Amino acid sequence: MGNEKSQLLQTRNWLSASFLSAALILIAAAAGLRPAMTALSVRFAKQSIPIRKPLSQFDISRLPSFSTGWLTSNVPPEDIETDEFAIIRFNRRTFGAEPKEVVLFVTYYSDPQSNVPHTPDVCYRQGGAVVRKMSNITIDLPESAPCPKIKARLLLMRQQEYNQAIIFCFYVDGSFRHSREQVRWMIRKPGNRYVYFSKIETVAMYPLDGEPTEAIELSKRLFAEAVGELISEHFPTREQLRP
């Protein structure tokens, strides 16, 4: 009986010593791991990158399907969470066609922690607009774009006095995405050292009792031509994003 108690006591002592040793090892490992993880997070943390050319300097004369355009600035920067944006109204070159006018609205962000501002289907409804249709749409891009075709979002919205055909898409770290969730995933994905994204949106109006076909085509045309100019002259290049 005494031997059994002695053996039990020795076993308990050994287990206590083993537990203490294991705990000390874990504490030491954690102490060493924390600085290592901190160093890695600093090393691979994404950084902001400035736009190559301000959007306010968008060359409206370079779009072949549109003859005139003018900048407007009736949106407070705090509403869109950036002061790097442009709202440009264009007239189409083809006379006699309706609608004649279409609007380009472009924003630029470079905050790795951004929540990605609202899309038109959210923002415009807050102002009283009604979504009549929302779907994906395929757009053919010019040769200067990084891919021949992209998917964007098409919105047909009803305002009080007119309808709108809206096309929008995000350009993030050199690729196109048509949802906020995709953009959030891209700007947090490991790889590129720098991060930016842009929301590109075109809007053409048509009558309340009218068909949207011409307005959609006009909005698509402006979107495609504007994307080529934005990528070639304004947005950071893919080479700039690499570590």
Mark whether 171 and 103 lie in a shared domain: yes
Mark whether 162 and 81 lie in a shared domain: yes
Per-residue pLDDT of the chain (243 residues; tens, 9 = 90+): 555 555 544 545 544 656 556 656 666 556 655 554 433 344 457 889 999 999 999 998 889 999 876 666 667 667 788 889 999 999 988 766 778 899 999 999 998 888 787 788 888 888 788 999 999 999 998 877 778 899 999 999 999 899 999 999 999 988 899 888 888 888 888 777 888 999 999 999 999 999 999 999 999 999 999 999 999 999 998 788 776
Please report where in the chains the tokens 């196109």 appear, as a residue.
176
Beta bridge partners of 205: 164
Mark whether 145 and 194 lie in a shared domain: yes
Mark whether 40 and 57 lie in a shared domain: no
Mark whether 33 and 69 lie in a shared domain: no
**Domains contained in the chain, number:** 2
Question: CB under 8 Å, gap of 24 or more: what pairs does 135-142 form?
Answer: 136/178, 137/167, 137/216, 137/220, 139/167, 139/169, 139/220, 139/223, 139/224, 140/224, 141/224, 141/227, 141/228, 142/224, 142/225, 142/227, 142/228
Mark whether 76 and 91 lie in a shared domain: yes
Query: pLDDT by residue (tens digit) across 132-170?
Result: 999 999 999 887 777 889 999 999 999 989 999 999 999
Mark whether 123 and 58 lie in a shared domain: yes
Mark whether 85 and 103 lie in a shared domain: yes
Phi-psi label, residue 68: left if phi above 0, alpha if psi -120 to 50, beta otherwise: beta
Mark whether 1 and 95 lie in a shared domain: no
Q: Please give the pLDDT value at position 207.
A: 94
Residues 6 or more apart whose CB falls under 8 angstroms from that of 212 comprise: 156, 163, 165, 206
Q: Please give the pLDDT value at position 193.
A: 82
Mark whether 81 and 93 lie in a shared domain: yes
Using alpha carbons, select from 115, 108, 130, 137 the residue that is nearest to residue 50. 108
Quote the domain boundaries for residue 60.
47-241
Q: How far apart are CA 141 and CA 67, in angstroms?
A: 20
Do residues 199 and 113 lie in contact, with contact meaning Cβ atoms separated by under 8 Å?
Answer: no
Q: Please give the pLDDT value at position 19.
A: 53
Q: How far apart are CA 25 and CA 46, in angstroms?
A: 33
Q: How far apart are CA 240 and CA 193, in angstroms?
A: 9
| Distance, first Cα to last Cα, the chain | 70
Mark whether 84 and 107 lie in a shared domain: yes
Mark whether 133 and 233 lie in a shared domain: yes
